[in-house]
Amino acid sequence: MGVKSITTLLLLGLAVFSFAPPGTAQANDVAVIVSPGNPTTNISLGELRKTFAGAKRVWPGGQPVKLVTRGPGCPERLVLLRLLAMSEGEYKQYWTSQVFRGDADAEPLVVPSVGMQKEALRLFPGAISLVAVGDVKPGMKVLKVDGLLPGAPGYSLH
């Protein structure tokens, strides 16, 4: 293969990546989901951080917050750890201390699948969770974060 062929291939590849649809970036976004009956539609990043840190324990309507998370290694879990600026070990220790302080009754519920996330949203009206935007299903209400939906430019959870 000559130098010209390689150059042509590289240029073609560059062109393909340059004109890739914006949906490619959106696919990495992680949506904040709640139960369909939850009246909240928008949440600030700060509020979201407080909620997943257990500092905000009640929804504006009075419903207790129920945290539902995915297990270690999942993309949603990595986004959660970035949101809280913690490592996996720090996260576990943080929640043990939250419970031991009496600031939380139990650690967040960990579910192994999207289906169980959906079930948890049905079971707990105050549930909140993170899900990869490609896994959003009917029965999951997606919240805006700082006024932005997943996929919008400037959306912060990915």
Tell me the one-letter amino acid at 98: Q
Residue 87 as a binder of other proteins (CB under 8 A): the answer is yes
Strand partners, 111: 70
State how far the Cα of 118 lies from the Cα of 12, in Å rounded to an integer: 42
- Which one among 81, 111, 116, 136 touches other proteins, defined by CB under 8 A? 136
123 binds other proteins (CB under 8 A): yes
Among 9, 10, 15, 27, binds other proteins (CB under 8 A): 27
CB 143 within 8 A of CB 122: no
DSSP bridge pairs for 34 = 128, 141
CB 23 within 8 A of CB 151: yes
Site stretch for other proteins (CB under 8 A), options 6-14, 74-82, 135-143: 135-143
Smallest CA-to-CA distance from 91 within 100, 76, 75, 80 is with 80
Residues in 43-82 at the binding interface with other proteins, rule: CB under 8 A: 46, 49, 55-58, 62, 64
Residue 147 near residue 155, CB atoms below 8 Å:
no
Q: Which of 10, 11, 14, 97 binds other proteins (CB under 8 A)?
A: 97
**Residues of this chain that bind other proteins (CB under 8 A):** 23, 26-27, 31, 36-37, 41, 46, 49, 55-58, 62, 64, 85-87, 89-90, 92-93, 96-97, 99-102, 105-106, 118, 122-125, 133-142, 144, 149-151
